[in-house]
Each structure stands twice: as structure tokens, then as C-alpha cells.
Amino acid sequence: MSKTASREKPTTVAQTQTRSGAHGSSHVPFWRDQHKRRIVGDVFTHAFLAIMSIIWLVPIVWVLLESFNQNTAPYQKTFFPRNYTLANYVQLFTERDVLNFPRMFLNTLFIAIFVCIISLFFVLSVAFCMSRLRFHGRQTFMNIALILGMFPSIMAVIAIYFILKAFGLTSGALVLVALILVYSAGSGAGFYVMKGYMDTIPLSLDEAAYLDGCSRWQVFIRIIIPICRPMIVYQAIVGFLAPWLDFVMAKAIARTQDNFTVALGLWQMLQKEYINQWYARFAAGAVCVSIPIAILFIIMQRFYQESMSGSVKG
């Protein structure tokens, strides 16, 4: 017995734990197995994202297919169209007797471009003053702008309309000027995001420029604006989309079809006297409206990436 016992190799604690773990791993409860929980969590996450992407894409696909629908009526038996044609796009831009969609499109594009430029200048100027300058009433102005920003703009629609009417800007071609003024005038109050970005720029850059003989305008143009390119891209997109997608203010100011924007034109297509003939063209118009927005995002995204890679602060 003593010789047999002496020939047996001693079993270490690590070997004992390894053997017990190898035999007992199958008995580990599911909620304690991190690997299995991670797999199940990934499956649920990907399934949820897939379902949400389908919910997000189905309306877009439906509008795109409906714009090619040969049946112009709003009611049909199938969810997606069966017969397709390009006539809706052709009629949308050629038949101008009832609804002049090309003119509405150009009106909106004209307004959006000017509002984008003017609002961008206003926001940059106000943000620079609030971030880099110190003057009496600065904090009071910021508090007032913050409080006024909490109220929806729809509350001032009636007052704005009567002010424009008193200046004679609610008739004729001056309606487009009125819309540009309305969309641009209040853009300077939305300076908080731009100011927050400018606050991250060190003041030592401004002081060094002042020592070199630069004026405030030169500091604003040559130092602040190049560094703020990412926020300029963001503000340009916001300034362009505001008039492009707005309906309430345009509905209150524009009274005739000559001054309609695309939002009013698309709304007019769904009225009971037009819907049976213009429903498919409404979908075609919605696709056409989305094209400038998509182009703007693609262009601005490229500039945003370039500005982020080339901007150095401090």
C-alpha cells in the first residue's frame, strides 16, 4: 500500500479546480453565463435595430413608389402600386394651369438660399459678441433671448402678419421679401449653440492677434470663423431647412399661388378638389422636395469632415 501510494502523483489545487470546472460548466445557470447573455443581448439589439430600420424605411419607399403610380387616385387595393409610369413627374412640371409647382419650387429655393446666408451671418455675429465681448446688459440680453426661445414661434404669427401688412409686404412679389425677413430676423436669437462652441476657443488666440495689430473684425474673420467651420455647416443646414419645411408662417403670409412655397403647394394638392388627380403627383413633389435637402447634406457633410480634420484649437 505504501509503494502504491508513493507512486501516485499529487493533485494540485489548480488541477482540481480545472477538472471541477470542466465537469460543472454545463450546470452554470443562464443568468450567470456572461457569454450567453452577451449573445442573447446582441441578438435582441440587432433584431430591434432591424425592425426600427424597416419602420423608418417603409414610408420613404412607399412615397418613392407612389410617385411612379399610374393610378392617380388616393385609394387603391394594394399597399404598393402595381403599375408604374413617369407621367406624374412630367405632368408635375409641365401642367401649370392648376398648380404651378415649378414656380413654388423656385420661390422656396430663392427664399431658402437668402435665409441661409443672412441667418448664418446673424448667428455668427451675435455669438461672437456674446462670447468674446464684455459689455453692460450682456447677461440680461442672454437671459431674455433664452426665455423668448422657450415660447413657440406660432404664437407670434398674427402679430407678424399685421406688422408686415402695415409695411405693405403682404401682396405681390414683396411676399417673398417678407418671408425672407421673417425667417432671418429671429435667427440671431438662436446663438447659444454657436456661442458655446466659440467659448471653447482660447482667448489667447484673440489676444495674440490684437498684439499683432488685428482689429476685432479681422479676429472674427481670420481666426474665429475658420475654427468654427463645423458649427457653420450645422447653422447653414438649419438656416436652409427652416424656410424649406415651414408651413405655418408661409400659410399666414402667402395668399396667392404665385407666392406659394412647396409646403403650401403640396398641401394644396391634397385638398378635395385636387386629390383625385394630384395624389400621385403629390408623392412626386415630395420626392422632388427631398432632393435639394439630400444634396445639401451630402455637400455639407464633406465640408464638415474637412473642417474637423483641419481645425486646430489652442
pLDDT of 46 reads: 92
Q: Are 118 and 181 in contact (CB under 8 A)?
A: no
At 228-260, the pLDDT tens digits run 888 888 888 888 888 888 888 888 888 888 888
pLDDT > 80? residue 131: yes
CA distance 128 to 122: 10
Q: The C-alpha cell of 191 is what? A: 446663438
Crossing angle of helices 192-199 and 229-245, rounded to 10°: 180
CA distance 149 to 186: 10
Q: The C-alpha cell of 258 is what? A: 404665385
Percent of the chain predicted with pLDDT > 70: 86
Residue 31 pLDDT class (50, 70, 90 cuts): low
Give me the mean pLDDT over the 43-58 stretch. 92
* Class of the CATH-defined domain 96-310: mainly alpha
Which candidate, 233, 220, 223, 222, places its Cα nearest to that of 193?
Answer: 233
